[in-house]
Amino acid sequence: MTVSKRKRMFTVCVLAFAASLLVASARVQMAIDREESKASEVPEALLIPSGNVVRKLSMGHDGLMADIYWTRVVQYFGGRLRDRHYEFRLLPQLLNITVTLDPQLMIAYNFGAFFLATPPPYGAGMPKESVALLRRGIEANPDEWRLWHYMGFIYYWELQDYQNAAKAYEEGSKHSKARTWMKVMAAAIRQKGGDREISRFLWSDIYQTTEDETIRENAQKHLETLKALDDIDEIRRVANLFHDQTGRWPQSFEEMSAQGLMQGIPQDPQGFPYVLKSDGEVILNPESTMRPKQDPLSR
């Protein structure tokens, strides 16, 4: 047997061994997942927790393995949501492995950041891990200005860290391809902090640009909540006007309608009528599907 044939045979054997190892690893991981779905007390685990190890095993097929791990991220995240398991212990590791294999896989940063940052039941509730992922993405992809936008958004909405949010938008605005509103957003956040109009603009951009249905649904719910806040402010204004005119608080929306201050019974974006309290306060209907466990309006 010639030297070249021996080399080719050796290479084939090594590739076959690596492939069999990867297949075996995948089977073991799938077995872990199956057992976890049967008994929630089984801890989550990754057989190969290191992206660098997976990269060595991939024998140069980093891009292919990154795609496989991204698919794993989506399956894991979607499966946890489907089964209403709102702990996502493996999510940061799976994303780190994915971007270690392919640092330019933008979908992993764009969607992964929101999977991590969004609170349950729509996400993992890990905003700091999300920021770390985005910083890693920016370092590997310095021309992707939208990563700065996503970082600023997460600092603004999930962490209420307006100083760092403004810095992120400011840094992102320096890129030649960045939208002009990035600089405006930085100035607005510095001046107004958690302003409702800023929140509406950011959620609208997320809603219009995302391709992920879960993220879009979450953005829509936040936009509806912001609309409800505007409605409540307006109804309170009208109730105060009624009080100024009559010397007492209105006891029903019909009274305000009879006074010519409004028409009909106002409803929230989900179609539930608002509740008018005896002291003129206005709240969401207890049966409303919009009703949050924690008041998002304080954010």
Residue 4 covered by a domain: no
Q: Is 57:18 a contact under the CB 8 Å cutoff?
A: yes
Pair 249, 212 in one domain: no
* pLDDT at residue 92 in the model: 92
Examine the domain organization and report whether 292 and 147 are in the same domain: no
Looking at the structure, do residues 257 and 148 belong to the same domain, yes or no? no
Weakest mean pLDDT among 3-17, 117-131, 155-169, 198-212: 3-17
User: What is the longest distance spanned by two Cα atoms in the chain?
Assistant: 106
Query: What does the pLDDT look like over 97-133, one tens digit per residue?
Result: 999 999 999 999 999 999 999 998 889 999 999 999 9
Say if residue 38 is in the same domain as residue 118. Answer: yes
Q: What is the end-to-end Cα distance of the chain in Å, rounded?
A: 73
Whole-number pLDDT of residue 14? 43
State which of 219, 250, 280 marks the end of a domain. Answer: 219
Q: Is 61 helix (H, G, I), strand (E, B) or coil?
A: coil
Is 1 a member of any domain? Answer: no
Q: How many domains does the chain have?
A: 2
| E strand or H helix at 219 | helix 213-246
Report CA Rg, the chain: 26
The overall average pLDDT reported for the chain is 82
Same structural domain for residues 15 and 136?
yes
Residues 167 and 287 in one domain: no
| % of the chain beyond a pLDDT of 70 | 77
**Containing structural domain, residue 243:** 232-298
pLDDT for 217 equals: 87
Residue 194 pLDDT greater than 60, yes or no: yes
